[in-house]
Amino acid sequence: MTELSQNYQNLKNALKACSQQSVHAVNLLAVSKTQDLKRVSECAALGQTAFGENYVQEAVIKIQALQNLTLQWHLIGPLQSNKCKIVAEHFDWVQTVDRPKIIDGLDQYRPHNLHPLNVLIQVNIDNEPGKSGCSVDQITALAEQIMQKPRLRLRGLMAIPNPDASANGVAFSRMQEIFTELRSRYTGIDTLSMGMSDDYPIAIAHGANLIRIGTALFGPRKHQ
Ligand SMILES: *Cc1c(COP(=O)(O)O)cnc(C)c1O
């Protein structure tokens, strides 16, 4: 067994245990930033289909090279508005939607031969200065704007809580409340993306159903 397949099995087992305790299914997003094509293909061969990337150029190379594997690609890094076109043309999901200009750009450039782009609103839940994500009081306006866009499909929320706050679950718990509220207001809201290698069990306990895992799957990143 390779280290990757061992990690994958361990993670799958841990996820199963967490999701049984919390009584909801949890999906795994494999965060493949800095991993080369070979590592991504190895992971895909284990049965993983959803991959998360932070850097647009790096991602597009992988998406194109691995086209025949029919993987699902999520952008989880900050999005500059001048990258909306290339992102809308290549990704299946964008988890980092946090301002009106990005919504307009993604909708404008999503090609008509592809399904509407799945989007999550990223929330800066701990109001950390300099961090991507909208504030809690901006969520409603952004959700309304996305709902008007034919080429976008709002699926839910994403957050990267401050590690100190996540230790006691406060940020995760607030996200869960906000997500429940959003879901009661619109149809089609089904995804709460939070939890990474160090904090996914507590995120799942607070309703996360998509966790983003890099290190616990691929091992420590060598660069970036
Ligand atoms: C890198 C990254 C992850 C994965 O982090 P690990 O701690 O390696 O699991 C998850 N989410 C985002 C937004 C990231 O940038």
Name the average pLDDT for the chain. Answer: 96
Q: What six digits make up the tokens of 171?
A: 């940020």
The predicted model gives 35-42 an average pLDDT of 96
Ligand 1 atom nearest the C-alpha of 95 is: 13
SS3 of 68, please? helix
Tens of pLDDT along 42-79? 999 999 999 999 999 999 999 999 999 999 999 999 99
Tens of pLDDT along 156-184? 999 999 987 767 799 999 999 999 999 99
pLDDT of residue 1: 78
* pTM of structure: 0.97
Burial class of residue 155 in the structure, from the number of CB atoms within 10 Å of its CB (0-12 exposed, 13-18 middle, 19+ buried): buried
Measured by CA distance, the residue closest to atom 10 of ligand 1 is 212
Q: How many angstroms is it from 211 CA to the middle of ligand 1? A: 9
Q: How many angstroms is it from 176 CA to the middle of ligand 1? A: 20
Tens of pLDDT along 87-111? 999 999 999 999 999 999 999 999 9
Q: Which DSSP string do the residues of 97-126 spell out, in sequence order?
A: E-SHHHHHHHHHHS-TTSPPEEEEEEE-TT
pLDDT of residue 168: 79
Instruction: Output Rg (C-alpha) for the chain, integer angstroms.
Output: 17
Query: For the chain, what percent of residues have pLDDT higher than 70?
Result: 99
| Distance separating alpha carbons of residues 195 and 184, to the nearest angstrom | 23
Ligand 1 atom nearest the C-alpha of 29 is: 10
Confirm if 105 and 85 have CB atoms less than 8 A apart: yes
pLDDT of residue 223: 65
Ligand 1 atom nearest the C-alpha of 213 is: 9
Which of 15, 33, 48, 76 is the best mutation target for the ligand 1 pocket, counting ligand atoms within 8 Å of the beta carbon and taking the most?
A: 76
